[in-house]
Amino acid sequence: MEEVKIVNLGLPNLALAYGLVLLTIGLARLRRIGQEGEIMWSSVRMVVQLFAVGYLLHLVFDVRSPLAVIAILLAMAGFALQIMGARISHRMPHFYRVMGIAILIGCGGVTFLFCGLVVGYSPWYEPRYLIPLAGMIVGNAMNGASLAAERLGAEIHERRDEIETALCLGATSRQAADTAVRHAFRAALMPTTNTMAAMGIVSLPGMMTGQILSGIEPIVAVRYQIAIMCAITGAVAITAFLVLFQGYRSYFTKAHQLTEEEYTGQ
Amino acid sequence: MAGDTQHVSIQLENVAVVRRGGDGRKVPILSDISFSAKSGEITAIVGPSGGGKSSLIRLINRLSDPTGGTIYLDGEDISGLDPLRLRRRVAMAPQKPIMFEGTVLDNLLLPFRYRQEPLPASDGPEVAHALELARLDPELLDRDSRTLSLGQQQRASLARALITRPRVLLLDEPTSALDRPTADHLAATLHDICRSQQLTVILVTHDLRLTEKIADHLVYLEAGRIREAGRAVDLLSNPQSPELRRFLAEPDAKEF
């Protein structure tokens, strides 16, 4: 295959692109939507965060130490947890423990399975593969886990009369929570299912676009995209499942009772 | 053996519930609750809303646990019983008659399904017994349970609670959503079930008409404490405590 050289973006080119953000700010000011400050701040954050991560990756790619790679993966999971904790409105009891275990097992398991068995490069910690792939997997699993946790909390809250009726009729907490768990699982899987169905028609996925831009044969890029979508789907499903499986218990006591916060609706 | 048929089946001793308030302070919900309920009798827990009636009745099938005191079922401390087994002996029909997806028959069989027991036949004695007790029309068995009228749902809920032949039946405001003829009809049904099955019935209500009609015992609860308790006829005709007098004197107390 002929070597394709990607055009390197220099600072003047970047400045030109940033002009589009300034144009947006100008438009916002013109229409007085009062968001200029926020747009400005967000764009600065984006630039700083991306450059920081770029240099960090540069460093890690150079060092090629498995410890550094693992540290980055754990930091990723940590940030994902913190982001989920900050945005969710129904935070279940033992939230961080439940979510942490789910992300570690769900994402960790799928990432290593995928990188080791499917892509099969060596060494196993090759940061050029492991870090971006893990990033995509964790990012998607984080959304799935948030949706699962949020929906589970809302469902249990809304269905508390139904759940207590089932308990009165002899149901275990697991049986009583079954409908709520089912709905939450469905909600968690929906975005990934939709993305798979729309892929290639509605959206050209980012990873594939990136690979094509950097000169990879489209068919190879497509194969990677299919593989990573499968990995994402699996990671989302396993993570959400673990969140729900541990999570519903935190709304019940061992004596098959809803916890006080739930039955009093506080 | 007349004494045996009227034995105490549920007994509460110094039961208390304290809940953590929003600011971390302890809020007493129920204090020093002691009374007993006999089989074959209806005990009505009466009082203004917010007085702790619903919090009290849910302790008896361990939907929640008291923070102090002891509850006995046939002399056994229920805090040592497996809640799933306890709820088989102590059935409860919650305030809102909730029907689950499926037909009325599906709903009646739920208690067996949850417990993973063999399902009784739809034309067998268990189903017939439950239908008869709750006076639910057998024609309704194949109907989608969510298309029933509220009165029918209340009866289906009662049949579902009774199908496993419990010893104690707890009812939370069984008539609050019903119109007067339907409520009176249900009251008569409850009275008959209680007598014919030697069932211990404990019901929570603010409906004095219902209490007057069917209650043998009355426990008057206000602000988390028992203000007066005794035979219903005596208390209703000759209340001693100022709280119950005030409650009975309210102009709309006899309505509902």
Cβ-Cβ contacts under 8 Å, A161 against chain B? 94, 96, 98
Residue A265: predicted pLDDT: 59
Q: Once rounded to an integer, what is the mean pLDDT over residues B30-41? A: 96
- Which of B85, B96, B33, B38 is closest to B59 using CA atoms? B33
Report d(CA B251, CA B256) in Å as an integer: 12
Residue B93: predicted pLDDT: 92
- Which of B181, B179, B229, B176 is closest to B207 using CA atoms? B176
- What dotted CATH number matches B2-97+166-249? 3.40.50.300
Q: Once rounded to an integer, what is the mean pLDDT over residues B20-33? A: 88
C-beta neighbour count of B93 within 10 angstroms: 27
The SS3 of residue A228 is helix
C-beta neighbour count of B236 within 10 angstroms: 16
Residue B217: predicted pLDDT: 96
Please give the share of chain B, as a percent, with pLDDT higher than 70.
Answer: 95
CB-based contact (8 Å) between A61 and chain B? no
ipTM for this model:
0.92
Q: With a cut of 50, which residues of chain A have pLDDT below it? A: 1-2
Of A161, A257, A266, the CB nearest to B96: A161
Q: Once rounded to an integer, what is the mean pLDDT over residues B242-249? A: 92
Q: Name A42's Cβ contacts closer than 8 Å, sequence gap at least 6.
A: none
Residue A266: predicted pLDDT: 52
Hey, are the CB atoms on B63 and A167 less than 8 Å from each other?
yes
- Quote the mean pLDDT of chain B: 91
Residue A84: predicted pLDDT: 87
Q: What distance, in Å, lies between the first and last C-alpha atoms of chain B?
A: 40
The SS3 of residue B217 is strand
Over residues A203-248, the pLDDT tens digits come to 778 888 888 888 889 999 999 899 999 999 999 999 999 999 999 9
Residue B220 pLDDT > 90: yes
CA–chain centroid gap for B33, Å, is: 17
Of A165, A171, A257, the CB nearest to B64: A257
Report d(CA A116, CA A118) in Å as an integer: 6
Contact call for residues B195 and B38 (beta carbons, < 8 A) = no
Alpha carbon of A254: minimum distance to chain B alpha carbons (Å): 10
User: How are the residues of chain B apportioned to helix, strand and coil, as percentages rounded to the nearest 5?
Assistant: 40, 25, 35
Residue A3: predicted pLDDT: 53
Distances (CA, A) of A228 to A83, A112, A135, B115: 23, 12, 11, 43
Residue B208: predicted pLDDT: 87
Cis ω for the linkage preceding B138 (within 30 of 0):
no
What's the pTM? 0.85
Contact call for residues A224 and A207 (beta carbons, < 8 A) = yes
- Which of A99, A103, A86, A97 is closest to A152 using CA atoms? A99
Residue pointed to by tokens 């960090």: A56
Report d(CA B216, CA B199) in Å as an integer: 13
CB-based contact (8 Å) between A203 and chain B? no
Model confidence band, residue B2 (pLDDT cutoffs 50, 70, 90):
very low
**64-83 of B, contacting A, C-beta below 8 A:** 64-65, 83
